[in-house]
């Protein structure tokens, strides 16, 4: 018992000294579990996140936009790969994690349970959803677990590129016809509140936050990150010429921040708990891809096994 305590003390000391924890280092079970949960949720979010945007690849309105969207959704698959690999360093295999996703045990970001209804949604998702994601992810680049922090550095670079692309889609549309402008405002109206919800429950209702902060997995609280996102987005909306659907949104001279209305937490929990507009479709699409791919994975395994035997009999 004394030994375990001192191990934990030493571990915390390393965290406090800003040392990175690596895969083979000793770590408390809770730290490992928290990381696996968080990293796998993030990986699943990348993979499920491919669906609402992938939905528009075949309908993208120009060659330039189609190529950019294909590349973006492909990047998300790549992010999923980095993150599943980071989770593997903690002893959580990809098959096991996918099983948790497919059986509904693991969560993914609720934002992807909203539908992409028009082309402007692809712009709004890039600007707001990727913008909110970056806010979270930049902070994670300094997370105490080395493999996670390093994966986040790569991911952040690509995400900020995606965000600019999304904003550019909207800018182009705002210079266009009235119908296009209307399409943009409608998309922003629908994506604004769900984007604010991406930062998770308010700090007072966030059960895992204190421990994560102590372990420096998390550096900034949900509410701090949300405020930064609002402060960043309001001037961008002004340049774009759109408004956010919040009558209470205004600049507070005293705090130097934009204050905003109350988030509909009922909606937040409804979507988290599986009753958003697209929860069933998203999960069904992932399960279907996995099930229909089973014979392909079996074939690849069988072939690899045959090759191994052929090689070993050649050596013999």
Partner 1 sequence: MQEFTRQSILILADNLMILGQRLGEWCGHGPILEQDIALTNIALDLIGEARNYYQYLAETEGKHEDDYPMLRDAREFKNVLLTEQPNGHWGDTIARQFLFDCFHFHLLEHMVASSDQRISAIAKKSVKEAAYHLSFSGDWVIRLGDGTEDSHQKIQRSVNKFWPYWMEMFTPTEAEQHAIQEGILPDLNKVYEAASSKLESVLAEATLIKPEGQHSRKGGKEGFHSEHLGYILAEMQYLQKSYPGASW
Closest of 140, 152, 163, 144 to residue 83, by C-alpha: 152
Q: Build a one-symbol-per-residue string for 3-42: x at contacts with partner 1 by CB under 8 A, - elsewhere.
A: ----------------------------------------
**Under rule CB under 8 A, residue 85 binds partner 1:** no
Q: Which stretch binds partner 1 (CB under 8 A): 25-33, 51-59, 147-155, 263-271?
A: 51-59
CB 215 within 8 A of CB 13: no
By CB under 8 A, is residue 66 in contact with partner 1? yes
Nearer to partner 1, 172 or 208 (CB): 172
Report how far Cα 229 is from the mean position of its chain's Cα atoms. Answer: 15
Whole-number minimum distance, CB 131 to partner 1, in Å?
21
Helix, strand, coil % over all residues of the chain, rounded to 5: 70, 5, 25
Which CB, 18 or 178, lies closer to partner 1? 178
Q: Which two tokens stand for residue 226?
A: 């949300």
By CB under 8 A, residue 295 contacts partner 1: yes
Q: How many angstroms separate the CA atoms of 103 and 44, rounded? A: 13
CB of 312 to partner 1, least distance (A): 17
Determine the size of the site formed for partner 1 (CB under 8 A).
Answer: 49
46 or 246: CB nearest partner 1: 46
C-alpha span between 116 and 154 (Å, rounded): 26
Nearest to 158, CA basis, from 54, 46, 35, 282: 46
Residue 197 near residue 231 (C-beta atoms within 8 A): no
Under the binding rule (CB under 8 A), the answer on residue 62 touching partner 1 is yes
Question: Among residue numbers 98 through 127, which ones bind partner 1 (CB under 8 A)?
Answer: 119
User: If binding is defined by CB under 8 A, does position 182 make contact with partner 1?
Assistant: no
289 binds partner 1 (CB under 8 A): yes
Q: Which two tokens stand for residue 185?
A: 């405002």
The DSSP letter of residue 129 is I
77 touches partner 1 (CB under 8 A): yes
Among 1, 5, 296, 315, binds partner 1 (CB under 8 A): 296
- Stated as kind and residue range, the H or E segment containing 197 is helix 178-197
Residues 6+ apart with CB under 8 A from 111: 49, 129, 132, 194, 195, 197, 198
By beta-carbon proximity to partner 1, the closer residue of 71 and 239 is 71
Q: How far is CA 7 from the centre of its chain?
A: 33
Output phi, psi for 261, to 5 deg: -70, 180
The C-alpha R_g of the chain, in whole angstroms, comes to 22
Site string for partner 1, 222-251 (x = CB under 8 A): ------------------------------
Structure tokens at 53: 């945007």
Q: Give me the least distance between CB of 190 and partner 1, in Å please.
A: 18
Site residues (CB under 8 A) for partner 1? 47, 50-51, 54, 57-63, 65-67, 70-71, 73-74, 77-78, 80-81, 84, 119, 169, 172-173, 175-177, 179-180, 285, 288-290, 292-303, 306
């Amino acid at each position: 018992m004394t030994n375990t305590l001192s191990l934990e003390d030493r571990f915390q000391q390393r965290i406090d000294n800003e040392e990175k924890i690596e895969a083979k280092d000793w770590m408390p079970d809770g730290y490992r579990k928290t990381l696996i949960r968080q990293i796998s949720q993030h990986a699943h979010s990348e993979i499920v996140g491919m669906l609402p945007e992938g939905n528009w690849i075949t309908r993208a309105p120009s060659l330039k936009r189609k190529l950019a969207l294909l590349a973006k959704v492909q990047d998300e698959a790549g992010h999923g790969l980095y993150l599943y690999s980071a989770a593997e360093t903690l002893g959580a295999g990809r098959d096991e994690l996918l099983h948790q996703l497919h059986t509904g045990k693991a969560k993914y970001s609720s934002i992807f349970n909203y539908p992409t209804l028009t082309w402007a949604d692809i712009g709004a998702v890039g600007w707001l959803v990727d913008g909110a994601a970056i806010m979270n992810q930049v902070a994670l680049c300094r997370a105490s677990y080395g493999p996670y922090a390093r994966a986040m550095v790569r991911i952040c670079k690509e995400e900020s590129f995606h965000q600019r692309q999304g904003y550019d889609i909207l800018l182009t549309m705002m210079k266009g016809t009235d119908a296009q402008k209307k399409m943009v405002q409608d998309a922003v109206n629908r994506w604004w509140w769900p984007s604010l919800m991406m930062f998770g429950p308010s700090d007072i209702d966030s059960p895992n936050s204190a421990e994560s902060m102590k372990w420096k997995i998390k550096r900034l609280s949900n509410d701090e990150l949300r405020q930064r996102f609002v402060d960043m987005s309001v001037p961008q909306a002004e340049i774009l010429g759109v408004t956010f659907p919040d009558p209470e949104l205004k600049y507070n001279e005293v705090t130097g921040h934009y204050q905003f209305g109350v988030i509909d937490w009922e909606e937040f929990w409804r979507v988290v708990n599986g009753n958003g507009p697209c929860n069933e479709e998203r999960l069904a699409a992932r399960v279907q891809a996995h099930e229909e791919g089973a014979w392909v994975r079996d074939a690849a395994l069988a072939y690899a096994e045959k090759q191994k035997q052929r090689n070993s009999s050649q050596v013999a």
